[in-house]
Chains A and B, each alone.
Chain A
Amino acid sequence: MDKDGQGRASPSSVVSDQSSVGSTGYQLDGVLARRAALLALLFSSGIASTPCSAAPDSLFHEARPAMGTTVEILLYASTRDRAAELFEAAFQEIERVEAALSTYRSTSEISRINTTAAHRPVVTDPEVFGLIARALEYGRRTGSAFDVTVGPLMKAWGFFLGDGHYPSADDLSEARAKVGWQHVALDSAQRTIRFLTPGLELDLGGIGKGFALDCAARVLRRHGVDSALLGAGQSSYMAIGAPPEARGWPIIVPSPHNPARALSTIQLRDRSLSTSGSNRQYFEVEGQRYSHIIDPRTAEPVTGMVQVTVIAPTATDSDALSTALFVLGREGAAALIEGMEGSAALLVIDDGGEKEIVAIQWTERVALMDK
């Protein structure tokens, strides 16, 4: 990678962020979004593995399939063997978390809760209980824009297996009856979870990948790693420290309709970034483009939002927030992010008329769009 840690944004495409409009951030016009945040790290050709402690650390990379996507880790270590042990420890941690949280595994803790909690309160361990509590808290704080029980609506709209379709009124009302984070009752003294409505299901897909990255980052830190980047399928990144002599790990948020161009380049350091986008996953009915993100409040797919990138202190937060802001839209997103220290967001909106970028507490430069 480039040792000075600078991003790859073309200088001509980057403008100053002085065009602030009001307290909600910046509005730049003329945007179409196409891709999720893209990591643009170029590897140096020779990754050394000399077992000499005096030598500077080298950069190592490993990617493995996990959590339904590809998880990749970049880290600086003294030797290839040391890096291999660190990768193993981190990926084992991700596997541990996935084994507990995956709804695709009948042996997971979430599957156990989903099959039992409608019948009786289910005791779970503090980690899983804490994550569910945090997910429900996001439901409260976002006025239900983020809802871990949205699964039945996703199924009704055909987003689990197919490309999406308009559901029948009956299917939709049946699904709506099974959705609502308010129907999950927690008892923190007993550490129990209880579903107050039959048919309810927890799906931590909107927060679990970020949580797994946070857990793996904690393992790496525990092993003394002070410079690493962990990513899940380009949609979430967690940075530990920065590359040597760099401000941070350069992450490029691409222009949605021209992925070769950077909308903004972030130097991510000890923080997390997540992106939600509708450019690759959507379907159209009578010219209306529906994203694959459902607004749990209306039971309909979100329209008008193209791409949301969020920076937050943890990947658990950025993962949940990117979905929540996508649903909330401009005003709701600004109100939420402005109340959260250390958070920022970049929204790309195309609601048929104006195409614009909304930057909320975003301190990096944002490029003007192609007209």
Chain B
Amino acid sequence: MKRREFVAASAAAAGTSLLGLDAMAETLAKRRFSPSDELNVGVIGVGSRGKYMMQLFLRIPGVRVTALCDVYEPRFAEGCEITGEDTPAYHDYRQMLDSASDLDAVIVASPLSFHGEHMVGSLEHGLHVYGEKAMGFTVDDCNAIVGATRESGRRLQTGLQYRYAPWYREAIQRIRSGEIGHVTHVYGYWHRNYNWRRPVPDPSLERLINWRLYKEYSGGLLAELGSHQIDIANWIFDEEPTSVIGTGGITFYHDGRETFDNVQAVFSYPSGGTHVFSSIIGNHNVGYQINIYGTGGSVKLTLEDGAFYYEPARANSAVPQELIERGVHTSATLSTSGDMPYRGPGLQIEIPEGEAGNPSFLAAAAFVRSVRNGTRPFADAQVGWKSAVAVALGNEAIRGKRYVEFADHLESKE
């Protein structure tokens, strides 16, 4: 939006504002956004995810990407290939926040350990934030992001895009209505078979490009993959976990990496729910799936679809009289049928024509709508907090192969 317009808009709004006119509010007022206007977006972290998200944002009417920030020079040319223009480049996010006065929002897609600094800094500069998951690296980061979101009055949406996937919404609405009975367990898997490395042009760039493999920057598989599954479990149970038991290790790739190449964590929920999460990157068999178990049935959700499965009927049923006339057989063989896995088809979740969509695109579009209409994002900072804190504490458990009670670590929670 044009500077003159938002100064005028902020002057008009000042009279009715409930906020005090301190320095912070003044900064924020300068960023006031007009719904009908163009939305200018900056990108902090123009790596694979940042590039992907900015391309999706460019499919939304009125959105322009007007600033790119990264510490790795080749990313600027790659980013400009996506914007199709000579987008201004910044090597320091502070410089971008100070200089790029036309920005309305930022996409934060930097390595996890920088999320807190980048998101809080952007919010304090009056920018709306689409912040990649996991929202924060530490509990303190997560608290700071929630606080800065509240104080800034800006929108923060966390990159938990499956909240916007039509088949997830449909499934969870039906689960909530009791379709599979009382839901007690969620088994989440994200298994792959590759080493999770990106090619590195020079060994000196290893930690920059493969930051996911180093504990200084990364929460490993639980953060990069498990944060989604944790969020889905939180959504299903409608609460957040209070304890976790974890384990894991480096089993497949002894290449100097620090984050585990397989992790297992069991999260307990206050109302009795359990979420078992597993990620293995040396075998692809189960891929990505979330199995939701209720007393009356199950749901399987994948990255592209979902299906309901119903438990076999157990009720008494009428039996033909000839059963008595025929007699029942005795045998030493244990019947396995009751313990064999269900192998039939499920009842696919149908998405009405025209409502399907790429979850990340739908999430981006919803974020822009929230910014324009001033509404709270569905995947807001609280949702991000619940997933990211569980990741941080889950990693405590996994690395120590132990039990972690959340209450012991959340004294500082607001």
Interface residues of A (CB under 8 A from B): 81-82, 84-86, 88-89, 96, 99, 105-109, 111-112, 115-116, 123-128, 130, 190-191, 222-224
Q: Is the CB of A108 within 8 A of B358?
A: yes
Q: Is the CB of B195 within 8 A of A84?
A: yes
Which single member of B82, B255, B304, B353 contacts A127 (CB below 8 Å)?
Answer: B82
Q: Is the CB of A123 within 8 A of B351?
A: no
* CA A116 to CA B365, docked complex, whole Å: 15
Q: Is the CB of B56 within 8 A of A89?
A: no
Is B58 among interface residues, defined by CB-CB distance under 8 A?
A: yes
* CA A191 to CA B61, docked complex, whole Å: 9
Inter-chain contacts of A88 with B (CB < 8 A) = 194-195, 197
Q: Is the CB of A99 within 8 A of B358?
A: yes
Q: Is the CB of A123 within 8 A of B61?
A: yes
* CA A128 to CA B361, docked complex, whole Å: 14
Inter-chain contacts of A128 with B (CB < 8 A) = 59
Which single member of A84, A86, A99, A125 contacts B59 (CB below 8 Å)?
Answer: A125
Within B282-325, which residues are at the interface with A (CB < 8 Å)? Answer: 304
Inter-chain contacts of B144 with A (CB < 8 A) = none
A109 and B358 in contact, given A96-B52, A123-B61, A124-B59 (Cβ under 8 angstroms): yes
B35-73 interface bits toward A, Cβ cutoff 8 Å, 1 = contact, 0 = none: 000000000000000001001101111000000000000
Q: Is the CB of B356 within 8 A of A126?
A: no
> Once A and B bind, how many residue pairs between them come within 8 Å at the CB atom?
66
Interface residues of B (CB under 8 A from A): 52, 55-56, 58-61, 74, 78, 81-84, 194-195, 197-199, 201, 255, 304, 351, 353-354, 356-359, 361
Q: Is the CB of B353 within 8 A of A115?
A: yes
User: Which single residue of chain B is at the shortest CB-CB distance from A123?
Assistant: B61
Chain B: minimal CB distance from A319 (Å): 21
Q: Is the CB of B59 within 8 A of A123?
A: yes
* CA A89 to CA B304, docked complex, whole Å: 22
* CA A99 to CA B52, docked complex, whole Å: 12
A85 and B358 in contact, given A109-B59, A126-B58, A126-B83 (Cβ under 8 angstroms): no
Which 6 A-B residue pairings sit nearest by Cβ, starting from the closest?
A126-B84, A106-B356, A125-B58, A85-B199, A107-B358, A223-B199
Chain A: minimal CB distance from B57 (Å): 8
Inter-chain contacts of B351 with A (CB < 8 A) = 106
Q: Is the CB of B199 within 8 A of A115?
A: no
Task: List 18 other contacts, CB 8 Å, given A85-B198, A109-B358, A127-B81.
Answer: A81-B255, A82-B199, A84-B194, A85-B197, A88-B197, A99-B358, A106-B356, A107-B359, A109-B361, A115-B354, A123-B60, A124-B59, A125-B55, A127-B82, A128-B59, A130-B84, A191-B58, A224-B201
